[in-house]
Amino acid sequence: VESVCPGVVSCSDILVLAARDSVVLGGGPFYPVPTGRRDSLVSYPQIALMELPAPTDDLSVILSKFLLRNFNEQETVSLLGAHGIGAVHCNFLTDRISNFSGTGQADPSIEREFNNTMIIRCNNNSAFIDLEKDGALETGFGKHYYQSLIQNKSVLRYDQQMMSEERTATWVRAYASNNFLFIKDFSNAMIKLSNNAVLT
């Protein structure tokens, strides 16, 4: 884009458009993305790492990080639906699948057969778990991610923790049974996220 339109389209816009198009290529919805962001003249990677959710965070930390950006529980649960596509590196899963809290056992919230699948994938010279192929009941982008949570088949611990609190479990069940509602709420939350604290 920069070579075609030098100095016109910002890196910030390119990242937001690429995120949207990645969702579409993964089978998710197309949603409008307003453009016109200015790039910052300075990068703050340490601050970004502190503010972004980490794969090892607990759900309470994830919810508080999104709340700081004015996202409520419903919006956060809908955004996490993107975890139906992509990949997670096995080094983020080792403790959960084989040494949860130093017990030498798996996280008890994981369905046993699914945990065995993750162990095999991570021990089979694979550096990551494919969330679409290994972590869902069916491929693509949609309600099956939430159906997997109901069956205790979540790759990430904080995703599974959404079933342990009613304020998030309510939305998991709603999205598991109504794909139209999920797509609508996800699209709205992504538009809101793409407009969060931007330079224009």
Q: What angle in degrees, to the nearest 10, is found between the helix axes of 166-177 and 179-194? A: 120
Cα(100)–Cα(96) distance, rounded to whole angstroms?
5
Residue pair 165/73 in contact (Cβ under 8 Å)? The answer is no
Q: For the residues of 92-109, what is the DSSP string, one character each? A: GTHHHHH-GGGSSS--TT
Residue 21 known to bind ligand: no
Cα(136)–Cα(165) distance, rounded to whole angstroms?
21
Residue 6 known to bind ligand: no
Residue 53 known to bind ligand: yes
- The CA-CA-CA angle for residues 68, 73, 75, to 5°, reads 85
Cα(109)–Cα(120) distance, rounded to whole angstroms?
18
**Annotated binding-site positions for substrate:** 53
**Annotated binding-site positions:** 53, 83, 134
**Annotated binding-site positions for heme b:** 83
**Annotated binding-site positions for Ca(2+):** 134
